[in-house]
Structure 1
Amino acid sequence: MGGAGFRHRAPSRHRRLGDAAAAARRRVTRPGALRADLADLREHWRRRTPAAASIWPPALAAIAPALAVLADISLIFDEIFARGARALPRDLVDVFQIVTRFGESHWLFALSVLTFVGAAGARASAVTRRARACFGLLAARALYVFVVLADSGLLSQALKHPIGRARPALLDKVGPHHFEFFSLPSIYASFPSGHTITAFATAAALGFFLPRRFKPLPFLAALAIAASRVIIGAHYCSDVLGGALIGLACAYLTALVFARRRLAFTVAPDSFWPRARGSRLCA
């Protein structure tokens, strides 16, 4: 038989995918594969792009008006709403006791960690380059949410006890504007509202990544959580407003830090606003 009788056949599509999957499995079972991916992430974190337009001048300029607004709200509305919350039907308060639990950060921390670990593992075993990029982007976004929760939570605790504002439970005893500076008891940890910080920091973080038509949803949930803190008598109005501003600021400033490292975000050198990376990558 002549050599011309044998023709080289290109591997079928299924065979190519099978070979790629086998290679991915070998890569995952190779010791240190995931560790190498994490090392790549650390190296990526160290490489920073040129700084974006400085946010500090406008941010510092906004502090004084924000404090003035908080003071006005506190003087006008805090006592009115705190006393009004006491007159609400018990059934309504019980409903918002459930709503307020969604502002606790521990389950959000757990969800962000599980998402990061799952995405990092899936990236290590991904068959195609596109899949690796998609799972890598998901891992970076989960890391961003985790960092936002961490820095906003730390800032909340750093402010609460030094400020030492009395909670509405002490309204009749000391009034709405009593402070015990550097006090450890929780009853003197009213400002800012930690649940509201968590809710708005998470809402802003998710808002960067969600499609435009879905962006309002996490903010509506955050508003419900913030309202619950006043309704159940845990905070004054100015506490939740201050918490909302702090949560939004933490999400925004953390996004700028990530954008400089091109992790989950990018930002133009002349811009103040970070943009989510890869919005169409996994579509």
Structure 2
Amino acid sequence: MEIRNAANPRDVKNYDTSRLREEFLIQGLLVPGEIKLVYSQVDRMIAGSVCPIDPIVLEAGKELRAEYFLERREMGVINIGPKGVVTVDGTVYELDTRDGLYIGMGAKDVIFSSEDPKNPAKFYLNSTPAHCAYPTEKIEISKAEPAKMGSQAESNQRTIYKYIHPQGVKSCQLVMGMTILEPGSVWNSMPCHTHDRRMEVYLYFNMPEDAVMFHFMGEPNETRHIVMRNEEAVISPSWSIHTGCATSNYTFIWGMAGENQVFSDMDPVLMKEIR
């Protein structure tokens, strides 16, 4: 498991391109036959992926100092690839493309597998510390709460699907969902915002291999950007804006951890204040 330290915004404004990418960009996700986990010290979020050819068992590793991965944690999983299976303490959950799964604290045995090993599933996951247990529950994309936002004129026409949230599948602190942009729309989360009460991780996908995403981060008056490509993720500390513009439309998964689960709890940034 890779460890990423928390970063102070007064230091980040002095980072060059390589340092920004080293601290915040997550690459090498969704490699067939591999599991990749990145532990961010920002709100103790773990982001990662499992792309199983043979079944892959989720293990705690020495970094968690736990008997098993979810001993003191909860987890959200969304499959962005072909059909796959997550087995939790002997119960089988079949996940089609864009189906999700919430796994509550205390689940001991978690196994990821693909229906067709030659065409493996692509499980993306977020995990946060938990202090109470909620039931493990499958989330079908057809039953996730959708909200249509934006407009074609503003190049941000999109549908937001909430998977794990207080009015849906409940969790201790994890909030997770997916946003799908319509063809011709390229902007997300603009006008932008911050939320001091929680951090966020974005996974960008469904982009052509030659497409480029410009993800903007930093304090509103000290913005920076990170160039990203398909199936890469980025860590956004609570003090940072998190918005992007790509050379095509795309889909992204957002996962949040912190003090407040209210989706609308944001600190808006006026367009005239961005620098």
TM-score (norm 2): 0.23
Q: Structure 1 or 2: larger strand share?
A: 2
Higher alpha-carbon Rg: 1
Q: Structure 1 or 2: larger helix share?
A: 1
TM-score (norm 1): 0.22
